[in-house]
Structure 1
Amino acid sequence: MNRPLLFLDVDGPLNPYAAKPEKRPDGYITLRVPQESGTPREPGGLSVRRRPLRVWLNPEHGQALLRLDYELCWATTWIDDANRWIAPVLGLPELPFVEFGDALLQERPDGVHWKTGPLVDYANGRSFAWVDDEQSDLDEGYVTAHHRGPGLLHHVNPRIGLRDDDFRTLTDFADSQVARSKAIEATGPQGNESGTGH
């Protein structure tokens, strides 16, 4: 049985960027990440010096994520930079990541988040949970209509990041997928109706 995928966003779930800027949350450390600008000069020809990006991370989240019965995968605008900057602080190994291609940061006319379609494509029918701070009911509807397996879209408050109750929700979903797989093995695929596990 394949473990479900856990699609991880960085900003919001792991980095509570919306917390009060003068008060780092308890248990978190501050990481300063240089911002590399694709446009190093302003229109007037002046050089642009950008301040490093402040990122708050809780090193305990890494072990908590590794204890979950999921295959972890980055689903973030950090793309592979999450392996360079975020994973080492959390004690995570290098993880696969979703390459969003042309969908990256592109608003959709139907209001579905730009990540949703690529995540459903990446999962390819496999059970998944997605932790992010930007999903909506439109994304739930898209997953229900386009994904052949169970999916959990779990919203994380960007002011507080991942908490114990979030990890419990993720554990419960993973456990339900183990039970589902055992039931399918016992009855055969014809005895199971696939659908989403929202």
Structure 2
Amino acid sequence: MTRPESRPLLFLDVDGPLIPFGAPAELRPGGYPEYRSPYAPRAAEGHPLVSRIDPAHGRRLEALGCELVWASTWADDANTVIAPWLGLPALPVLPVAERPDTAEADLRAGLHWKTRSLVAAARGRAFAWVDDELTGTDRTWVAAHHRGPALLRLVDHRRGLTEADFAALAQWARAHR
């Protein structure tokens, strides 16, 4: 059995990777597919875009063998709405460090507001980060400040997680277990 701390971390953003949005009609002529969750049929009440999340993503994410962590502005709401929809247990939530002394400088430099917190939370463990707002600045900063392997997977917010994303995550996770 693999100890949890020996598994790579997978930091998950919600809006964009799990809930696609903003695709022009040419890309989604019929609009986004809407799903019903066999795990939590009422989980989407009050959250109309949650039905865009394919509940099968929960099993696929678990199958990667990573320790899943929410890295989203949804924060704890991801555990009350998104996790049940996906059939997942409550997941840890990325604690976002409040560092007003660096936040403004990071923003001006193009560093994502999650980047420092992800690296701090990983504490040298291998991690993958799935987000729709990653930049070269984030990649450079992680490479310079994280001593373990890291995969920063940019997901197109108009499409959400795709087969190519799952394939890349699976290959990376196998290599870093």
TM-score normalised by structure 2 residue count:
0.81
Q: After superposition, what is the alpha-carbon deviation per residue over 1:69-108, rounded to whole angstroms, capped at 9, x for unaligned?
A: 100000000011100111111111100010214269x552
The answer to whether 1:62 aligns with 2:69 is no
Moved over 6 A (4+): none
Any gaps of 5 or more consecutive residues in structure 1?
A: 34-51, 179-198
1:25 to 32, 36, 40: 32
Contact 1:13-1:133 within 8 A present in 2 as well: yes
Following superposition, the deviation at residue 23 of structure 1 comes to 4.2
2:76 to 60, 76, 80: 80
Change (3 A) 1:133 1:88: same
Q: What SS does the corresponding residue of 1:83 show, helix, strand or coil?
A: helix
The answer to whether 1:5 aligns with 2:1 is no
The answer to whether 1:102 aligns with 2:98 is yes
Change (3 A) 1:85 1:103: farther
The one of the two structures with greater contact order (alpha-carbon pairs below 8 A, sep at least 6) is: 2
Contact 1:5-1:123 within 8 A present in 2 as well: yes
The aligned amino acid for 2:110 is G
Higher helix proportion (structure 1 or 2): 2
| Range that drifts further, 137-146 or 93-102 | 93-102
Contact 2:155-2:161 within 8 A present in 1 as well: yes
Contact 1:59-1:90 within 8 A present in 2 as well: yes
Any gaps of 5 or more consecutive residues in structure 2?
A: 38-43
Aligned length: 159
Q: After superposition, what is the alpha-carbon deviation per residue over 1:100-140, rounded to whole angstroms, capped at 9, x for unaligned?
A: 14269x55222111110100000010000000000000000
Following superposition, the deviation at residue 20 of structure 1 comes to 4.8
Following superposition, the deviation at residue 18 of structure 1 comes to 2.0
Q: What SS does the corresponding residue of 2:98 show, helix, strand or coil?
A: helix
**Could you tell me which residue of structure 2 aligns to residue 173 of structure 1?**
172
What are the within-5 Å matches in structure 2 for residues 1-198 of structure 1?
Answer: 2-20=6-24, 23-26=30-33, 28-29=35-36, 31-33=44-46, 54-55=49-50, 56-102=52-98, 108-178=107-177
Following superposition, the deviation at residue 19 of structure 1 comes to 3.1
- Aligned-residue RMSD, C-alpha: 2.3
Sequence identity of aligned pairs in percent? Answer: 48
Contact 1:12-1:18 within 8 A present in 2 as well: no
Change (3 A) 1:155 1:25: same
